């Protein structure tokens, strides 16, 4: 299949997501006055991006584990240089059917809660993200809490599929979508009473249904052409 139109669509979607990052500013307490979108963007001003870190992972060392943590020292220093905004990427989800290493340092395993009928991240994961957000807000920063990338591109990798024993059903993006929705809901509820200086942003990096568009062949019942891809994305 010629995937060029889909690639262009992915780029357009990513750009649109960046432009619309203020679409979901969370509810705040009465003492925190509401902000217009222009006021919020002006306050966000000069900003930098950070990835969530537990402190155990080797690559991202700017973790928060108290008032004397590397994260606190870093945001204090960046304030001196005139930065007023932080985009914090919640790279704290584990990826579905991914290599075991994805569930080690830097990632908290998500499990299906039978009682709730929803996917959930452990309280420890939520608490660690809250600690970083609290520290940033306490220093006057405007904060974007960005959901992890919708990283299902690995499902199209035949070598990974063979290595980890993925079945055809496990490689279909549709079988993982509810997990993303449930986790986004969990974070929205956890931060619903936070300051108006905190905003949510859906990931600008999208890798979905690539197994269905790039690997499966026309004629397969789960094959997706561009029209079906567009319909799936907009429905999501």
Q: What order do you get walking across the sheet with 198-201 strand by strand?
A: 24-25, 198-201, 142-146, 85-89, 47-51
The 10 Å Cβ neighbour count of residue 223 is 15
The pTM score is 0.73
Structure tokens at 206: 């999208």
Residue by residue, pLDDT tens for the chain (236 residues) are 434 444 444 444 443 343 333 334 444 444 578 899 999 999 999 998 887 766 655 555 677 888 888 889 999 999 999 999 999 887 555 555 444 444 444 566 778 899 999 988 888 888 888 999 999 999 999 999 887 666 678 889 898 888 888 899 989 989 888 888 888 899 889 999 999 999 988 766 778 899 999 999 999 999 999 999 999 888 87
Going by C-beta distance under 8 Å and a sequence separation of 6 or more, which residues neighbour residue 6?
213, 226, 229
The total of structural domains in the chain comes to: 1
What are the angstrom distances between the C-alpha of 200 and each of 6, 28, 186? 26, 13, 13
Task: Specify the pLDDT at position 215.
Answer: 94
Contact of 224 with 58, CB cutoff 8 Å: no
The bridge status of strand 118-120 relative to strand 142-146 is: unpaired
The 8-class DSSP code of residue 93 comes to: B
Domain that holds residue 88: 4-235
């Amino acid at each position: 299949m010629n995937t060029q139109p889909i690639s262009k669509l992915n780029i357009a979607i990513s750009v649109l997501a960046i432009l619309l990052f203020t679409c979901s500013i969370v509810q705040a307490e009465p003492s925190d006055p509401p902000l217009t979108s222009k006021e919020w963007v002006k306050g966000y001003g000069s900003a930098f991006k950070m990835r969530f870190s537990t402190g155990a992972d080797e690559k991202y060392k700017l973790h928060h584990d108290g008032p004397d943590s590397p994260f606190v020292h870093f945001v204090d220093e960046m304030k001196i240089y005139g930065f007023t905004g932080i985009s914090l990427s919640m790279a704290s989800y584990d990826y579905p059917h991914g290599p075991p290493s994805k569930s080690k340092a830097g990632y908290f395993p998500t499990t299906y809660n039978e009682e709730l009928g929803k996917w959930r991240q452990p309280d420890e994961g939520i608490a660690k993200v809250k600690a970083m957000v609290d520290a940033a807000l306490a220093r006057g920063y405007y904060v974007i809490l960005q959901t992890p990338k919708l990283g299902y591109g690995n499902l199209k990798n035949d070598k990974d599929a063979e290595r980890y024993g993925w079945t055809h059903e496990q490689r279909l993006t549709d079988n993982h979508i509810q997990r993303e929705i449930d986790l986004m809901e969990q974070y929205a509820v956890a931060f619903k009473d936070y300051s108006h200086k905190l905003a949510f942003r859906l990931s600008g990096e999208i890798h979905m249904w690539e197994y269905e568009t790039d690997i499966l062949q026309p004629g397969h019942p789960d094959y997706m052409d561009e029209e079906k891809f567009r319909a799936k994305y907009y429905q999501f």
